[in-house]
Amino acid sequence: MAINWEDNTKRKAFRKALQRVYPSERDLQTFVDEELNENLAAIAANNNLQATAHGLVSWAKAKGEIDRVFEAFCRENSKDTVIAELQSQLLIKRSSNLGEEDLERLFAMLDPDNTACVEIAFRDAIKAAYGLSFLEMRPDRPPINNLDDIQDLLKKYDNPILAVRFVEFAIVELQRSSEGDERDLAALVQWGDRITAQYKVSPLTPKPDRKIVRQGYLLVAFEECGSDVTVYPELRVAGTEKPIEFGVSPVTCPFEDVPNYLSDWIYLAEKALDEHDNEEILLELFLPCALLEEDLATTWTVKNKRGNPIALGIHRMFVVRSFDRIRDDEAKKTLRRKWQLLKECVTAGNACDKFHLQETYLETQGALLVLLKNVPGLKLVAKLPAESEKRKNLLYEIVDAAVPIALWSPSADEAILAELKTQMYNLSKESHLIEFADLARRWQAKLADPETESVKHIRLLCDCPDRVPNLPDPDQDEDLLVAS
């Protein structure tokens, strides 16, 4: 923990935070007993709350336990805004160390297209410099999904150790993302070396792992076949053109039976990707329009490595993509144009604001298609009609509009729709939208968190021009023969 407790202003800030969160001596006593296994009465006199809190901080400092007390306080109250305020006071240095020009030079070397890598590097740097995860340190969750946000935070923390760690991890992440091609990162290395020498920062030991980890994708395409579906599994790795063989074949079965196959496919796919150091694949499920409203995250149950049942949305990251667009040349052309628009908005840091927000159902056929003509995404927070035909026509308009990101809910509950509007905004604002693995990871975390489980009512349709499955030609009957 990089806090100078010899500074009396920092101890005072901690004491005041204790008083704010625990407004009575009984509350403070409970914290000390349950989180520290200590007796507050034996530590500090109970003349009044201020004196008792001061006594606790003084005792902790004298015993060399103040970091433990502080960490327990942050852990117990991680959702309280007082934690972010306190950590800002304790961890941000008062005197300027890094010049503004240093950070300007550093960020001039970084490409907005690599924002996802830079965000990962910043999170890792926070952990290495302060011993806390970014969410532990900043429960207020300030945005870090564009370069300006990260630069502002580095300027605010004004810590050479943090800056050097950030560059060390950025070099690792950028090299990983190059898919095996060597990048010229000499300028970043030189910047890090100069700051290291100037401020006498010790190098990170051990050095960050420079192994290249390529994201694996298990593409699963669903084609309607009478009352059943034909399912085509295909394994891809970022940076490779051809699918990777992993010992599975297409199957034809009832839609509800697909999870029985998915468990084995996930295991075999990740086993085949061991040489690429993948820990977890991203599932990309290509659904036809008629199945887009299915709740796969919570109603589909697969098996974990011990054979125990687990909800698909908790077991693995996944996104839903459009099957209908695979063979629709016009939709693919539109998607390429809007994907470029989304990338430009992500670079500008305003992608979420450029999404079309639709809060009422449009009766006029084709009206939504017109409204989505030149936008990168849709947030549909409207009570949808009960008639299945009307709902299907609406989903076809979303598919035909070929927006890269679309969020909506089949729920008709107005209270849920109001909450979903907030969750949709948060999900699209916090995620790096052109990195589907990041988007899926955040969605998975929200599904697992009881406080944000309302996202289970959200349907998320993502699409990009890349990683399109190889499907048999529908005009060639022999190509359609699959195992069943």
Amino acid 225 reads C
Is 265 found in the same domain as 230?
Answer: yes
Residue 414 lies in a domain: yes
Query: Does 366 lie in the same domain as 246?
Result: yes
Residue range(s) defining the domain that contains residue 50: 8-91
Q: Are 288 and 395 found together in one domain?
A: yes
Under a CB-based contact definition with an 8 Å cutoff, are residues 462 and 436 in contact?
Answer: yes
Q: Which residues pair with 302 in a beta bridge?
A: 310
Burial class (CB in 10 A: 0-12, 13-18, 19+), 271: exposed
**Beta carbons within 8 Å of 470's beta carbon, 6+ residues apart:** 234, 243
Q: Is 144 exposed, middle or buried (0-12, 13-18, 19+ CB in 10 A)?
A: buried
Report yes or no on 479 lying in a domain: no
26: in domain: yes
Tell me, letter by letter, the H, E, C secondary structure of the chain.
CCCCCCCHHHHHHHHHHHHHHCCCHHHHHHHHHHHHCCCHHHHCCCCCHHHHHHHHHHHHHHCCCHHHHHHHHHHHCCCCHHHHHHHHHHHCCCCCCCCHHHHHHHHHCCCHHHHHHHHHHHHHHHHHHHCCCHHHHCCCCCCCCCHHHHHHHHHHHCCHHHHHHHHHHHHHHHHHHCCCCCCCCHHHHHHHHHHHHHHCCCCCCCCCCCCCCCCEEEEEEEEEECCEEEEEEEEEECCCCCCECCCCCCEEECHHHHHHHHHHHHHHHHHHCHHHCCCCCEEEEEECHHHCCCCHHHHCEEECCCCCEEEHHHHCCEEEEECCCCCCHHHHHHHHHHHHHHHHHHHHCCHHHHCEEECCCCCCCCHHHHHCCCCCEEEECCCCCCCHHHHHHHHHHHHHHCCCEEEECCCCCHHHHHHHHHHHHHHHHHCCCCCHHHHHHHHHHHHHCHHHHHHHHCEEEECCCCCCCCCCCCCCHHHHCCEC
Per-residue pLDDT of the chain (484 residues; tens, 9 = 90+): 457 788 788 888 888 889 888 888 888 889 888 888 888 888 887 778 888 889 899 998 888 888 888 888 887 876 666 766 666 666 555 444 677 888 999 999 998 878 878 988 898 888 888 777 777 677 667 788 789 889 988 988 888 888 999 999 999 888 877 655 567 888 999 999 999 888 888 877 555 654 555 688 999 999 999 999 999 999 998 767 789 999 999 999 999 999 999 999 999 998 888 765 555 789 999 999 999 999 999 999 999 888 899 999 999 999 999 999 999 999 999 999 999 999 888 877 778 788 999 999 999 999 999 999 999 999 998 888 989 999 999 999 999 999 999 999 887 677 777 777 787 777 777 777 888 888 898 888 888 888 887 788 889 999 999 899 999 887 765 444 444 4
50 & 145 share domain: no
Q: Is the peptide bond before 142 cis (omega within 30 degrees of 0)?
A: no
Closest by Cα among 94, 119, 77 to 3: 94
In terms of Cβ atoms closer than 10 Å to its own Cβ (0-12, 13-18, 19+), residue 288 is middle
- Say if residue 68 is exposed, middle or buried (CB neighbours under 10 Å; 0-12, 13-18, 19+): middle
Residue 274 lies in a domain: yes
Question: What's the domain count of the chain?
Answer: 3
Look at residue 340 and tell me if it is in a domain.
yes
Q: Could you tell me the two tokens for 161?
A: 């150790």
* Dihedral angle of Cα 468, 366, 294, 382, to the nearest 10 degrees: 130
57, two tokens: 């901080």
Shared-domain flag, residues 255 and 339: yes
**CA gyration radius, the chain:** 26
Q: Give the pLDDT of residue 311.
A: 94
**Do residues 86 and 105 both lie within one domain?**
no
Same structural domain, 56 and 156: no
Question: Minimal CA–CA distance to 107: which of 74, 76, 148?
Answer: 148
What was the pLDDT predicted at 35?
Answer: 86
Tokens representing 66?
A: 């103040």
Q: Which of 352, 355, 420 is nearest to 384 (CA)?
A: 420
Per-residue model confidence (pLDDT) at position 365:
92
User: Is 477 inside any structural domain?
Assistant: no
Q: Which two tokens stand for residue 326?
A: 């695979």
Would the CA dihedral through 199, 203, 204, 205 be positive or negative?
negative
* Domain-ending residue, one of 91, 110, 136: 91
162 in the same domain as 296: no
CA dist., res. 60 & res. 67, Å (int): 8
In a domain, 250, yes or no: yes
pLDDT of the residue at 233: 97
Cα–Cα dist 69/40, whole Å: 12
Q: Is residue 474 part of a domain?
A: no
CA distance 83 to 73: 9
* Closest alpha carbon to 369 in 399, 338, 401: 401
Taken as a whole, the chain contains a residue count of 484
Task: Out of 91, 118, 153, pick the residue that ends a domain.
Answer: 91
Q: How far apart are CA 5 and CA 319, in angstroms?
A: 46
Q: Are residues 349 and 332 in the same domain?
A: yes
Q: Are residues 267 and 380 in the same domain?
A: yes
Q: Are 107 and 81 contained in the same domain?
A: no
Token pair listed for 436 = 């589907």
pLDDT for the residue numbered 1: 45
Identify whether residues 251 and 331 lie together within a single domain: yes
Q: Cβ(232)–Cβ(220) under 8 Å?
A: yes
At residue 265, the pLDDT reads 95
Predicted TM-score (pTM) of the model is 0.62
Which residue among 91, 121, 151 closes a domain? 91
